[in-house]
Amino acid sequence: MKKNSEEYGLIDLIQRGGIYQDIPGTTPSEVLANTIQTIALPPSITREDLLKAVLEREDLMSTAVGNGIALPHPRNPIITCPQEQFVSICFLQQPVDWKALDGTAVHTLLLIVSASAKSHLHTLSRITFFCQQESFRRHLQSHASLEHMSALIQAIEQTWH
């Protein structure tokens, strides 16, 4: 669901970013490096630039939000084209201590790459809402497919209208 030229629905962003299984690593920096080596990237950014930006943001404060979920992202947009924005869901091989406030080790990343601060906040607010939904968290814990995640997100978004 596209609201304007910069705001894409969460389903669109996840379809663009993909879902990845079994990301290895025992520390946040290892997991992030392996994640960025695994995911598909738009041609306008390099793996090195994205990793540097994500690690710099992580150094400021943990992006773990609780319930085994982390939302890594660059502090500032590193792409300029709204059509290149994406969210990648990455399931880890093993839970990793991400310094979450609730003390729960992270099992799932939702890597957010946005083209502007406004679109980042829009995406982050939607993801935060979904992370509060038990059904969404269950889907993440069960490593749901793109098809199942899309169906759940669409069903929940339909209740907003």
Q: What is the pTM of this model?
A: 0.93
State how far the Cα of 81 lies from the Cα of 31, in Å rounded to an integer: 26
User: Among residues 56, 131, 71, 61, which one has the least CA distance to residue 99?
Assistant: 61
Task: Give the tens place of pLDDT for each residue, 101-116.
Answer: 999 999 999 999 999 9
Domains and CATH numbers, the chain: 10-158 (3.40.930.10)
Sign of CA dihedral 60, 138, 131, 90: positive
Task: Give the tens place of pLDDT for each residue, 8-26.
Answer: 889 999 999 999 999 999 9
User: Among residues 128, 12, 26, which one has the least CA distance to residue 70?
Assistant: 128
In the chain, DSSP finds a helix count (H) and a strand count (E) of 6, 5
Q: Ramachandran region of residue 67, left (φ > 0), alpha (ψ -120 to 50) or beta?
A: left
Tokens 């038990």, residue?
A: 134
Per-residue pLDDT tens digits of the chain, which is 161 residues long: 444 444 688 999 999 999 999 999 999 999 999 999 999 999 999 999 999 999 999 999 999 999 999 999 999 999 999 999 999 999 999 999 999 999 999 999 999 999 999 999 999 999 999 999 999 999 999 999 999 999 999 998 888 75
